[in-house]
Amino acid sequence: MKNLPLAIDVVEAKTSKIDSVDFDNLVFGNVFTDHMMECDYIDGQWQNPVIKPYGPIQLDPSAKVFHYGQAIFEGMKAFKDDEDQVWLFRPMENIQRFNKSSKRLAIPEFPEDLFLEGLETLIDLDRDWVKKGFGTSLYIRPFVIATETGVSASPSKKYKFMIICSPAKAYYSGDVRVFFADKFSRAADGGVGYAKAAGNYGAQFYPTNLAKEEGYQQIVWTDANSHEYLEEAGTMNIFFRVGDKLLTAPTSDRILDGVTRKSVLTLAEEFGIEAEVRRIKVSEIVEAAEKGELKEIFGSGTAATINPVKGFGNKGKKYELPQLEDSYASFFKKKLMEIQYNKAEDKFGWRYLVKSN
């Protein structure tokens, strides 16, 4: 997509909040850095973006985002290496997916190179917030919302694009047990499942709360038609290890094309781990578990990188997974993190150095 000749204005914060932050006790996504990026879409075009001190925005109560949910977002991370260099991981994947999501929600696409330039300028400005340490990172949340006033059900003519950033420590989600969906659905054919549409997430909270009451932390969504095929989890793609073979569902218009997922598949090929991308039946996973052939389930996603699953529930039965010394989950997590933190060769060109001004 061609960039518009727009300049990014930078207004630096007069003081920094950084000294008031307890970096050892961060709760994921609760603290934000000193700056944010903001860009409005008015009169059919994106205006000059500005990077400015982080703070509240003012919206009219009739802004369309509140009424029709025209909102999409992304999630990505920056990492600091031992030499204080800051890196992004495959940022163009997120930028392109952002625009794919926008298109589906009738939101105008954001120029890719302006996105990357703004992101880089913002991260450079807040680089002290990217702390060192394996597992420590800066979580980056770009999003766009419909801001036109008026409650008529039609696409907004005004939008606000923003990027906000939140320091994150190593992600530990505790023991995760998942429930295979048999009633509720996350996405349907022809729907918005492949987009990071805000409403996809809001709609999962209620069924996930019900699953929590039964002792599960996450739901693995199944196809909406039959509930026979396993698709993806709340904010993660999902992998199954049966014997020594890795299985994951193909992406479709119901499943998010996860950056971590595709990176795992590339690494599996590199390291000679057999991986099959195909539809996976609930019944085959249950059968494999009953025969003792199901060795692992793990989720892949930006927040946790790789999240091992301890057990699952299906049709009133609970299954526990074995604890493995040489799990694929820890293998892929280590390999991915070594690339992200500049501790291993970047064979596939996934790292992106944030230039320093």
Ligand X SMILES: Cc1ncc(COP(=O)(O)O)c(C=O)c1O
* Binding residues for ligand X (CB under 6 A): 75, 196, 232, 235-237, 256, 258-261, 300-302
Q: Which is nearer to ligand X, 51 or 197 (CB)?
A: 197
Residue 197 beta carbon to ligand X: minimum distance, rounded to whole angstroms: 10
Residue 75 beta carbon to ligand X: minimum distance, rounded to whole angstroms: 5
Tell me the three-class secondary structure of the chain, residue by residue: CCCCCCCCEECCCCCCCHHHCCHHHCCCCCCCCCEEEEEEEECCEECCCEEEECCCCCCCCCCHHHHHCCEEECCEEEEECCCCCEEEECHHHHHHHHHHHHHHCCCCCCCHHHHHHHHHHHHHHCHHHCCCCCCCEEEEEEEEEECCCCCCCCCCCCEEEEEEEEEECCCCCCCCEEEECCCCCCCCCCCCCCCCEHHHHHHHHHHHHHHHHCCCCEEEEECCCCCCEEEEECCCEEEEEECCEEEECCCCCCCCCCHHHHHHHHHHHHCCCCEEECCEEHHHHHHHHHHCCEEEEEEEECCCEEEEECEEEECCEEEECCCCCCCHHHHHHHHHHHHHCCCCCCCCCCEEECCCC
Q: Which is nearer to ligand X, 126 or 232 (CB)?
A: 232
Q: Which is nearer to ligand X, 107 or 265 (CB)?
A: 265
Residue 196 beta carbon to ligand X: minimum distance, rounded to whole angstroms: 6
Q: Which is nearer to ligand X, 94 or 342 (CB)?
A: 94
Residue 304 beta carbon to ligand X: minimum distance, rounded to whole angstroms: 9
Residue 330 beta carbon to ligand X: minimum distance, rounded to whole angstroms: 17
Residue 1 beta carbon to ligand X: minimum distance, rounded to whole angstroms: 20
Q: Which is nearer to ligand X, 144 or 236 (CB)?
A: 236
Q: Which is nearer to ligand X, 220 or 294 (CB)?
A: 220
